[in-house]
Chain A
Amino acid sequence: MMRRTRTASLLATATTVVLALTACGGSSSGSGNGKVTQGGTLTYLAPQDFDNLDPQRVYTTEGQNMDELIVRSLTGWEEAPGQTPKLVGDLATDTGTATDNDTVWTFHLRPGVKYQDGTTVTSYDVKYGVERIFSPDITGGPGYAAQWLVGGSSYTGPYQGKSLASIVTPDASTISFHLNQPVPDFNETTAMPAWSAVPKAHDTGANYNTGVFSDGPYQIQSYQRGKELILVRNKYWSQATDPIREQNVNEIDMKQGLDPATIDQELISDSGTAADGIQEWAISGSDLSMEASNPQLKSRLNVVASPGISYMALNVNTIKSLPVRQAIEYAVNKVTARGAFGGTAYGDIATTMLAPGVAGHKDFNLYSTDPSGDLTKAKALMAQAGNPKLTLSLATQNLPSYENWADSIKASLANIGITVNIVPINASNYFNTMSDTKDQYDMAWMDWFPDWPSASTVLPDLFNGAQIKSEPESNQDISYLNDPAVNAQIAKIATMTDLSAANTAYGNLDEQILGDASVVPLVYMKITELSGSDVGGLIADPVNSAINLSRVYIKQ
C-alpha cells in the first residue's frame, strides 16, 4: 500500500528556527519500559483526517492503525517491543486452515467476542462485512477480495440483497472462503481491517466511516470529520478473548487538522496535554534530522523499521539501453539522495527492492559497493553504450525534500554526462499521475509499502508488466518493465503453495529484476515519531509501518 501522500507543510521553512529554540525544553523520562498503568487520556495529534475509517474502505497505514483499536479482523499480528510480529488468530481462534491446495480457507471464531452493544459477533457478520468490499459505494479498500474470491469479479455487494456464494458460513462461528487460485498467505491478507465483522443493523453504508461499530477495546464516542475523533472504552470488550490488544487508557482524543510543524513543536516542548500525546505522521525533512540528532529527545523518539522501500524507477520504454540503465545504477549517490529526506534517520541504504523486514528478502548488491556511487564503473558502462548525449526527465513531488532529492540525482547523473530535467508534480496528485500510462517519465521518485510483510505484495504489484495494458489508469509498474521472464516467474510463484519455497523464489526474482536495472533501490525506510514523556506501551509496528497503539498506556 502506498502510505498516504504527505501534503505540503505550509510551515516547512519556518520550523527549524523555532525548533532550535525549543530544543532545550525537552524532558527525557523515557517511554520504553515501565509499569503498565490504567487510566488517562491519550492525545493523538494528526495533520489530517483519515481517508477512511470504515474497515472495508481503509487503505492507509494511519487508518489501519486506528481501526486496529476499534475493529477486530480474522487474524492479526501479535506484537511486542523488540519482537518480530507473529501472525495469530484475532477474531478467529487460530490463523485458519487451508484445504484444497490452499484454495479454501476456513476460520473458527472465538466465543465471547462482543460488540459495543453487548451482542455477540457472528460469522454471518464477517461474511456481510467482507461482502461490503464489493459495493461500488464502499470505495477505497484493497482489491484482494475481488481478485481472489470465486465470483468476486461480478458481485456488487450485499445492498441489493444478494450474497456471495463463495463465502460459506455453516454456523454462527465458522466461515470459509473459496478462492479462484491457491493463496498460501491468504491468512496474512485477513489481518487487514477489511476482513472483519459489520453488523447489518448498524451498517450506515457510505456513512459508516463515522459510525464504525466496535468489537475492539475502543468505540467511537464522537467523530467530527477533519476535526476530532474521540474513542472511549468498549465495556463489552474482554481481554480474555483478545491476544493482541490491551485497554489501558480511558480515552483517546485525536485532534485532526493540525500543522505538522505545530505538532512537532508541541511534542518537543512536552508540556500540557502533549506530555500524554503522540503524533500520527512520521517526522520528515529537516525536522527529522534535527530531532534525531537531539540527545534530549532520544528517549521519546519511536522508530519503526518499516518494510517500505524508497526507490527511483527507470522507464525501460524510454531508456532502452541496458548499459545506460546500469550506468545510472552505479552513478547515483544514494547517500546524498537519502540526505534530502533526513539522512540516516530516514533509513538504511537499500540495494534490493525487498526490505529486510519483508518475507522473501535476500541480501545482495548487484551494483556499487560504495553507497556514494562508483563513477569509474558508471563511466565505463556509458562508454560501452557509446557515450550517448542524453537528456532525461525526472518526476518528483513538488515538495522541498523531494525537490532536493531530485537535485541530488541530477548532480549524480551530471557526472556521467546525463542531463536531467526535473519535473515537479503536485504532491496530492503524484501517485495518480504516475500510475496513468498516458504520463510517462524517464525516471521517477517512488516508494512502496507492502500490505503485509511479504514479497507477494511487492514484486507482483511493481513489476508485473501485464497491468500496463489491463489497468492503464492505475498501473504501478512505473518502470514499464514487461520482461516475459519476470512475468512468467511472478505467475509461477503465485501458484506455489510452499511459503518458504515461494519466499526463496521471490528473493531470487528480486535479484533477477535488479539485473534488468529498471529500478534504483535507495532507502529501506524508517518511520520516526515523537511521543510525550508520560506515554508508554508504544510498539514499533513493522507490519503497518506505524507506531501501534494497541498496548498504549499513560503513566499515572
Chain B
Amino acid sequence: MFRYLIRRLLAAAALIVVISLITFFVFFALPSNPALLACGKTCSPERLAQIKQGLGLNQSITTQYWEFFKGVFVGRNFSDASIPLRCPAPCLGISFKTDTPVLSTLMNRFPADLSLALGSAVMFLTIGVGLGVLAAVKRGKLLDKLAVGGALVGVSLQIYFMGLVLIWVFVDKWNLLPEPGYTPITQDPGAWFQGLLLPWATLVILYLALYTRLARSSMLETLSEDYIRTARAKGLPQRTVILKHALRAAITPIVTIFGMDLGSLIGGSAVITESVFGINGIGKLAVDSVTDSDLPVIMGTSLFAATVIILFNVLVDLLYGVIDPRVRLA
C-alpha cells in the first residue's frame, strides 16, 4: 500500500512536469506578444526591447522554462523598478499584468473554488445517487421516468440561461436572496451560504443528470447479479439489500467520476458559473490570463488544476481499496 502510494505520487509529479512543459511551449507557439500588450499603443522598438528584458522574454524559451522550474524549488528574485522583489519558493512567477506573485493570487482565489465545489458536490452527489437508486429500484415506473427525464432537462439547460433565470427569480423579482457572490466563511457564514446558494443550485442542476443516470445504470447492473438474488432469497429486508449489498458494489464507478469532477471543479472548471455569479475563482483567473497573454498566471492556473485533478485521482484509487474489498493495491 505504502509503496503503491509512493509510486503513484512520483508518477503524478512526472505528469505535472510534463503538463508544465506543454503549457509553456504551447504559449510560445501561440500568436501572442505580452511585451507589446504591456507596451501600449505608441511603442518604439527600443522600449519594446526594454520591456521584453524586464519580463525576461528576451531569453531563450528553454532558459525561461528552466528559470521557472528552478523558481518552484528555490524561489526567484525579480528586480522591480524601485523595490527588489523576492518571490519565495514555491515561486510560480509574477503576473505580467498585475505584478503580484501568482501563488498568492491562486491562494487568494482558492477558497472561493473550494466552497463552490464542495458545497455543490455534496448536493449533487447525494441527490443524484439518491434519485438514481430510487429510479433503479422503481425501474420503468413513473418515478424512474420523472427522475431520469427531469435530470436530463436540467443538464440540457445551459448555465448561462439557468443562472440568469435563478438570479432574476430569487434576487431581482422576489428579493429572497442577496446578490450572489463569494464571502469568506470565516468572515460571515450566513452571507457565505446565502451568496453561494444559487451557484450551488446551478451546478447541481448541471451535474445531477450525470449522477442520476450513472447511479441508476450501475444499480440496475448490480441488482441483476446473483448475490443480490441470494440476499433476497435469504429473506434480508429490501433496505439492507439495496443499501448494504447493492449500493456498495454499484458506487465504485460513481466514485471514479466523482473524484475527477470534484478535482476539476476545485481546479476552476466552473468558469461559466463563476462568471455568471461574479465569483472570482481560479477558472475566471485562467480565462483572463489567456486573454491577457499573462504567461505566469496561465502556468499557475493550469498547474494548479492539473495538480488537484491528479491528487483526486490518486485519492480515488486509494478509496477503491476501502470501498471494494476485492481491490488490493500493490
Seen from chain A, the residues whose Cβ lies within 8 Å of a Cβ on chain B are 1-2, 7, 10-11, 13-15, 17-18, 21-22, 25, 48-49, 51, 59, 135-144, 146-147, 153, 156-157, 159, 203-207, 209, 224-227, 255-259, 261-262, 265-266, 269, 271-274, 428-429, 432-433, 436, 461, 470-474, 476
Q: How far is the CB of A142 from chain B (nearest CB, A)?
A: 7
A89 CA to B15 CA, complexed, in Å: 61
Given A14-B158, A476-B41; A137-B168 close (CB under 8 Å): no
Offer 8 A-B interface pairs, CB within 8 angstroms, sorted by A.
Answer: A1-B41, A136-B47, A143-B40, A204-B82, A226-B98, A256-B280, A261-B164, A265-B172
A361 CA to B46 CA, complexed, in Å: 34
Q: Which partner residue on chain B sits nearest A226 by CB separation?
A: B280
Inter-chain contact B43/A474, CB cutoff 8 Å: yes
Q: Which partner residue on chain A sits nearest B94 by CB separation?
A: A206
Inter-chain contact A146/B47, CB cutoff 8 Å: yes
Inter-chain contact B276/A136, CB cutoff 8 Å: no
Q: Is B230 an interface residue (CB 8 A)?
A: no
Inter-chain contact B41/A206, CB cutoff 8 Å: no
Chain B, range 162-210, C-beta contacts under 8 Å to A: 163-165, 167-168, 171-173, 175, 178-179, 181
Q: How far is the CB of B112 from chain A (nearest CB, A)?
A: 9
B contact patch SS = helix
Inter-chain contact B81/A141, CB cutoff 8 Å: no
Inter-chain contact A429/B31, CB cutoff 8 Å: yes
Inter-chain contact A137/B172, CB cutoff 8 Å: no
Given A143-B41, A429-B293; A137-B278 close (CB under 8 Å): no
Q: How far is the CB of B55 from chain A (nearest CB, A)?
A: 9
Inter-chain contact A10/B272, CB cutoff 8 Å: yes
Inter-chain contact A156/B50, CB cutoff 8 Å: yes
9 extra A-B contacts, CB within 8 A, seeds A136-B81, A159-B81, A225-B98: A11-B160, A18-B168, A139-B38, A207-B99, A226-B285, A257-B278, A432-B36, A433-B31, A473-B36
Inter-chain contact A25/B173, CB cutoff 8 Å: yes
A21 CA to B161 CA, complexed, in Å: 12
Given A140-B39, A206-B99, A226-B280; A22-B172 close (CB under 8 Å): yes
Partner of A143, one of B32, B42, B172, B292: B42
A489 CA to B51 CA, complexed, in Å: 33
Inter-chain contact A224/B108, CB cutoff 8 Å: yes
A80 CA to B41 CA, complexed, in Å: 30
Given A1-B41, A159-B82, A226-B280; A265-B164 close (CB under 8 Å): yes
Q: Which partner residue on chain B sits nearest A12 by CB separation?
A: B160
A473: which B residues are within 8 A, CB to CB?
A: 33, 36, 43, 45, 48
Which 7 A-B pairs rank lowest in CB-CB distance, beginning with the nearest?
A143-B42, A137-B81, A205-B82, A269-B172, A136-B50, A205-B81, A14-B160
Q: How far is the CB of B222 from chain A (nearest CB, A)?
A: 39
Inter-chain contact A255/B80, CB cutoff 8 Å: no
A262: which B residues are within 8 A, CB to CB?
A: 163-164, 167, 276-278
Q: How far is the CB of B94 from chain A (nearest CB, A)?
A: 9
A461: which B residues are within 8 A, CB to CB?
A: 41
Q: How far is the CB of A240 from chain B (nearest CB, A)?
A: 34
Which of B40, B48, B98 has the most A CB atoms < 10 Å from its CB?
B40
Inter-chain contact B36/A474, CB cutoff 8 Å: yes
Inter-chain contact B179/A273, CB cutoff 8 Å: yes
Given A18-B164, A136-B51, A142-B40; A25-B172 close (CB under 8 Å): yes
Seen from chain B, the residues whose Cβ lies within 8 Å of a Cβ on chain A are 31-33, 36-48, 50-51, 53-54, 80-83, 97-100, 105, 108, 158, 160-161, 163-165, 167-168, 171-173, 175, 178-179, 181, 272, 275-278, 280, 284-285, 288, 290-293
Inter-chain contact A17/B53, CB cutoff 8 Å: no
A337 CA to B291 CA, complexed, in Å: 26
A461 CA to B40 CA, complexed, in Å: 13
Q: How far is the CB of A212 from chain B (nearest CB, A)?
A: 14
B105: which A residues are within 8 A, CB to CB?
A: 225
B165: which A residues are within 8 A, CB to CB?
A: 18
B81: which A residues are within 8 A, CB to CB?
A: 135-138, 157, 159, 205-206
A203 CA to B42 CA, complexed, in Å: 24
A256 CA to B165 CA, complexed, in Å: 21
Q: Which partner residue on chain B sits nearest A136 by CB separation?
A: B50
A137 CA to B39 CA, complexed, in Å: 10
B99: which A residues are within 8 A, CB to CB?
A: 206-207, 209
A147 CA to B290 CA, complexed, in Å: 32
Partner of B42, one of A142, A157, A428: A142
Given A11-B276, A156-B50; A147-B42 close (CB under 8 Å): yes
Q: How far is the CB of B52 from chain A (nearest CB, A)?
A: 9
Inter-chain contact A428/B292, CB cutoff 8 Å: yes
A299 CA to B83 CA, complexed, in Å: 50
B179: which A residues are within 8 A, CB to CB?
A: 266, 272-274
Inter-chain contact B32/A258, CB cutoff 8 Å: no
Q: How far is the CB of B45 from chain A (nearest CB, A)?
A: 7
A225 CA to B100 CA, complexed, in Å: 10
Given A10-B272, A136-B51; A255-B291 close (CB under 8 Å): no
Given A25-B172, A51-B97, A265-B168; A143-B44 close (CB under 8 Å): yes
Q: Which partner residue on chain A sits nearest B38 by CB separation?
A: A139
A140 CA to B41 CA, complexed, in Å: 8
Q: How far is the CB of B180 from chain A (nearest CB, A)?
A: 9
A143 CA to B276 CA, complexed, in Å: 37
Inter-chain contact A48/B288, CB cutoff 8 Å: yes
A170 CA to B179 CA, complexed, in Å: 54
A259 CA to B275 CA, complexed, in Å: 6
Inter-chain contact B164/A269, CB cutoff 8 Å: no
Inter-chain contact B38/A226, CB cutoff 8 Å: no
A257 CA to B289 CA, complexed, in Å: 13
A49 CA to B100 CA, complexed, in Å: 14
Q: How far is the CB of A202 from chain B (nearest CB, A)?
A: 11
A273 CA to B83 CA, complexed, in Å: 40
B32: which A residues are within 8 A, CB to CB?
A: 429, 432
Given A207-B100, A209-B98, A271-B175; A257-B293 close (CB under 8 Å): no
Q: Which partner residue on chain A sits nearest B182 by CB separation?
A: A227
Given A51-B97, A206-B99; A136-B53 close (CB under 8 Å): yes
Inter-chain contact B172/A14, CB cutoff 8 Å: no
Inter-chain contact A432/B80, CB cutoff 8 Å: no
Given A11-B160, A18-B165; A139-B39 close (CB under 8 Å): yes
Q: Which partner residue on chain B sits nearest A21 by CB separation?
A: B168
Inter-chain contact B167/A59, CB cutoff 8 Å: no
B161: which A residues are within 8 A, CB to CB?
A: 14, 17-18
A224 CA to B100 CA, complexed, in Å: 11
A472 CA to B171 CA, complexed, in Å: 51
Inter-chain contact B83/A205, CB cutoff 8 Å: yes
A159: which B residues are within 8 A, CB to CB?
A: 81-82
Q: How far is the CB of B318 from chain A (nearest CB, A)?
A: 36
B278: which A residues are within 8 A, CB to CB?
A: 255, 257-259, 262
